[in-house]
Each structure stands twice: as structure tokens, then as C-alpha cells.
Amino acid sequence: MKRGTLYGVGLGPGAADLMTLRALDCLRKVDCIILPRKDEKSSSVSWNIAEESVGLIPGQERLFLSFPMSRDPKVTTRAWNVAVKEIRDRIFAGKSVAFISVGDPFIYSSFIYLYEHAQKSWPEIEIKVIPGVSSISAAPIAAGVPVADGRERIAIIPAVYNKDDLRTIIRMFDTIILMKASSVMPEIVEVIESEGLMDKSIYVASATMDKEQIVTDIRTIKGKRGMYFSMVVIAKKDHSGVLFGNGV
């Protein structure tokens, strides 16, 4: 029997018009869209981005699957086993299935686990991945902070690093994008302050979404946690301006 295709679809950072035409076209055509959410009581953050644009498609299935935000592998593995079975059943019944991700599906997305599992366990199926505008580019643009020019070096890290690692990375790179910042904002601000980079750092939350928040003076949020979708961009600009003979 013919197998269905598995799609990983990047939805962009939040604004509906930052979803690509390819993503929209795919979501309007597939038999089933997987709507990831953190638990049964929550809505799907990623589906909130796409729902209005995709609209109602007769006969299309929309399946909520829960992916708990837990560090306990027993909890996460149980949820993944359920998800994998649901997705497999549909693909092996010949249906096309799209798994949606905020931003880009290959950047800190749950889709990566599914992709690797599918490649290994279901080698006969076709997998297609549709890139999305990542928050890595959308958030600095929302904040008006160019990420890198000429010879500047960029580090992109989840901010769950300990303070010493964070300090080392901050010293090594010109621009540092700290993702997953919400729960560790107080520690991040502490390190930034001790490195003398308060004036070169910007906090961006929910970029391009209705509740977008940009804080250019991070002293005002010292000691506070960040929003769910938040990041800090540190742009030193010590090596920028190669075009004009600077930054070397």
C-alpha cells in the first residue's frame, strides 16, 4: 500500500503574513495536521499562528497531540510514543500528515525528534521539510538590531547554560542570541551586567505577535522572568563595519 508523506512545516515567528506560501499551500492540502500543545488543557500555540489563514478544509483532520514540557524522560517518552503511533497509523494508511512548528522546524523544534525517528524507523516514507522564518531573524529585526556584518561571529544558544558557560560564550562572540530565556532571565541579566553589556543587550518577547514586547533598557526588567517566547540579543558591534575599513 502507498504510504503518505510526512511534512514538517515552519510557520514563522507569529505574524500570519510571515508564514510562507509553501507552508500555507501544504497545510491546505494535507489529510491531517498535527497540532502540538503542551497539555490537554492548553491550546496549540503554533496552530494559533496558522488557523485563520488555513481556514476550514472539508475532510481534513486536525489532531491535537500533547508534548509536556517536562525534564522527566518517562513523561516525555510516554507522550512521544502516543504521538508517534498516531502519526504512523495515518502515514501507513496512505495519508499525508503535517507537523507544525513555530519558526523553523529544524531549529529547537519537537519536529526534529519526529524527523529522526521517521528516518530511522520508517525509511520507506517520504519526508518533506518546509522552512519557516525563524525567531532568530525575526526577533532582532523587530528590535532593530542587525545581527552580524562582515566578520562578526554569531552564537545562538538556549539560555539554560550555567552562568560560567554563558560568560565564556558571551566573551567569544560578537553577537549572542539567547533563546529560551524566560525562566532564566534574572541570571542572564546578572551575567550581562557583570560583563558590562547592559547597553548592548535587548530583550524581545513574542516578536511579530500582537503582544510583542521589546525592552531596550534591560535594567528595567532586572530580577524578572521573561515571557514564554522570549530571547535576548547581545550585539557588541566591536567588529562591525568591514565595508568601511572598520571591524578588523
Ligand X SMILES: C[S@@+](CC[C@H](N)C(=O)[O-])C[C@H]1O[C@@H](n2cnc3c(N)ncnc32)[C@H](O)[C@@H]1O
Q: Where do contacts with ligand X occur on this chain (CB under 6 A)? A: 13-14, 101-104, 107-109, 134-136, 139, 179-181, 204-209, 229-231
- Rounded least distance, CB 10 to ligand X, Å: 7
Q: Which of 118, 134, 115, 120 is nearest to 204 (CA)?
A: 134
- Rounded least distance, CB 178 to ligand X, Å: 8
How many residues comprise the chain? 248
Q: How many helices (H) and strands (E) does the chain have?
A: 7, 10
> Whose CB is nearest to ligand X?
103
User: How far apart, in whole angstroms, are the C-alpha atoms of residue 165 and residue 96?
Assistant: 43
- Rounded least distance, CB 126 to ligand X, Å: 22
- Rounded least distance, CB 83 to ligand X, Å: 16
Give the residue with the Cβ less far from ligand X, 170 or 179. Answer: 179
Structural contact between residues 103 and 13, judged by C-beta atoms closer than 8 angstroms: yes
Helix or strand (DSSP H, E) at 216: none
Give the residue with the Cβ less far from ligand X, 24 or 188. Answer: 188
Give the residue with the Cβ less far from ligand X, 139 or 192. Answer: 139
- Rounded least distance, CB 116 to ligand X, Å: 16
User: How far apart, in whole angstroms, are the C-alpha atoms of residue 202 and residue 191?
Assistant: 14
- Rounded least distance, CB 14 to ligand X, Å: 4
Residue identified by cell 494559533 is 48
Rounded to the nearest 5 degrees, what angle is found at the Cα of 108, between the Cα atoms of 106 and 111?
55
User: How far apart, in whole angstroms, are the C-alpha atoms of residue 179 and residue 182?
Assistant: 9
Give the residue with the Cβ less far from ligand X, 31 or 218. Answer: 218
Q: Which of 98, 100, 104 is nearest to 12 (CA)?
A: 104
- Rounded least distance, CB 208 to ligand X, Å: 6
Give the residue with the Cβ less far from ligand X, 57 or 227. Answer: 227
Show the cell assigned to 166: 554563558
Give the residue with the Cβ less far from ligand X, 84 or 156. Answer: 156
Give the residue with the Cβ less far from ligand X, 57 or 160. Answer: 160
CA 134 to chain centroid, in Å, comes to 6
